[in-house]
Chain A
Amino acid sequence: MNKRFLLILEIAIALTGLLAGYIFIVGKSALDTPAVAHSATAPDNPLMLYLAPEGKQRGLVNDQKAQNWGATPVRDWTSARAVANSRSLDALLIDADMFNTMTVDDSNWLQAQFHAGVIIVGLGAEEKQLASALGLKTLRGPDNTDTVVGPTEYWLVSSLILGHPDEVKMMEGSDWINRHITEADGGGGSSPILHYPLVTSVRIGPGKLDSEAGLTELTINVKLGIEAIYQTRAEYQQALKDFERK
């Protein structure tokens, strides 16, 4: 037989086998559905602040742990705001003790950060305390009405809305975040009618601070949350381009 023909046939069979093996494991759906977007635009060193009193230890969390994660300890709200003024904040881990010294201006600033997509973590904060500080009715959805966070646990929460400015204003007026958290359909059924691409996102979850596994879970979910904010912004830009072309 012609050697070149045989070689081509061998290569074709190898490629077929490679693809067959891949499909067998990952499944046909991996080829049908669009690829998962990557967070290419997230910063290498996101700005994360750890707002806590000097020497505070909560569970296994302290200044040293926070610094190991890449978070910068700050002692008061004024310092946190000053740092965030110089560079975009990505995550803010707040010890529960700091809510006792929060002023109205601090609360307004915190809510602005929350609405801008900053990942907020209330370390040891009661659900009502953190919800109130963020201007929310509750952090509990229909699926975790019984969840209680103790002094060595935390709530993580973030939100983001991207859309036409007029429609974002309409959604904010309709209290979209509270509906996202509390309504069974994420509030989709009670939102105003929209005519342009818009995306809303809420991330919430409790966790533990008294084990290394719990801390690992916290730090990874914070970093995944930061990446997701940047990813969502990129996806929204692409959705706008696709919408204009359709």
Chain B
Amino acid sequence: MMKTNIRLPKSIYHVTLKFVVIFIVASAIGMSIGFGRAYAESESNIFVPNAGNVGAAGTFSWGGTYAQGQTTSTVFLYQIYANIRFWHSPIMYPPTAGMRDQKIWTNSRGGSTAAIYSSGYGDRAATRSYFKATSSSPYSGNYYTSAPGTTGSCYNYWNSGNPC
């Protein structure tokens, strides 16, 4: 039986290694750009009765203490609601309500709440969002997003600062 011994030129290995290194370094740079800017928990393609999967909702945070809610639609809707609030929620004590900002857009594609700031440790921001396609359409139901992400994404947390 004839043995075959295929060897690739060294230049191919060098080129491949170079590509891998470039990718890793570039990814690290991309991650650092993303990390310092904002962290978000968001939902998209939210179903809105009589409109379809047009909604998007999210809570953005940065600096560990700033947060902003965003509720938007890819099409004009009759009503879009966003309410963000901070809860001062240390583990051992009852949570207390902090700053909140609430907006309702009518005949619009929605937008952002004002940013809110909290100085406490362990504080969480939670946003409640809902949509209504026309003045006679049913509401979409509520969507909850939070920062830090998923730690307060429920009605219980948004309403009372208590764990989900």
Contact = CB atoms under 8 A, between A and B. Distances in A.
A100 interface: no
A16 B32 CA distance: 15
* Interface secondary structure of A, over-half rule: helix
A213 B65 CA distance: 12
A147 to B, nearest CB: 6
Given A30-B38, A205-B97, A199 B106 contact: yes
Interface in A148-193: 156, 163, 180, 185-189, 191, 193
B96 interface: yes
Contact of B38 (A14, A26, A201, A216): A26
Q: Quick one: which of A24, A147, A206, A224 has the most chain B CB within 10 A?
A: A224
Contacts of B117: 217, 220-221, 224
B17 interface: no
A192 to B, nearest CB: 10
A243 B96 CA distance: 40
A220 B117 CA distance: 7
B157 to A, nearest CB: 11
B5 interface: no
Contact of A203 (B38, B56, B76, B100): B100
Nearest to A208: B119
Interface in B118-155: 118-120, 130, 132, 135, 139
A147 B97 CA distance: 8
A112 interface: no
B139 to A, nearest CB: 8
Contacts of B101: 201-203, 228
Interface string B32-49: 111101111011100000
* Interface secondary structure of B, over-half rule: strand
Interface stretch (A5-13, A43-51, A79-87): A5-13
Contact of B108 (A33, A197, A227): A197
A195 interface: yes
A239 B42 contact: no
Given A17-B26, A17-B30, A143-B160, A163 B106 contact: yes
A27 interface: yes
B115 interface: yes
A193 to B, nearest CB: 5
B19 to A, nearest CB: 5
B99 A34 contact: no
Contact of A207 (B83, B99, B111, B113): B99
Contacts of A163: 106
Nearest to A240: B108
Contact of B76 (A6, A216, A246): A246
Query: Which 4 pairs of residues, A with B, have the shortest CB-CB distance?
Result: A21-B30, A228-B114, A17-B26, A25-B34
Interface of A: 1, 6, 9-10, 13-27, 29-30, 32-34, 36-37, 141-144, 147, 156, 163, 180, 185-189, 191, 193-207, 213-214, 216-217, 220-221, 224-225, 227-228, 231-232, 235, 239, 242-243, 246
29 contacts: A21-B31, A21-B32, A22-B33, A25-B31, A25-B39, A29-B40, A30-B38, A32-B44, A33-B42, A33-B44, A33-B58, A33-B70, A34-B72, A37-B112, A185-B130, A193-B135, A198-B106, A198-B107, A199-B103, A199-B106, A199-B108, A202-B102, A204-B99, A205-B98, A207-B98, A228-B101, A232-B111, A239-B109, A242-B108
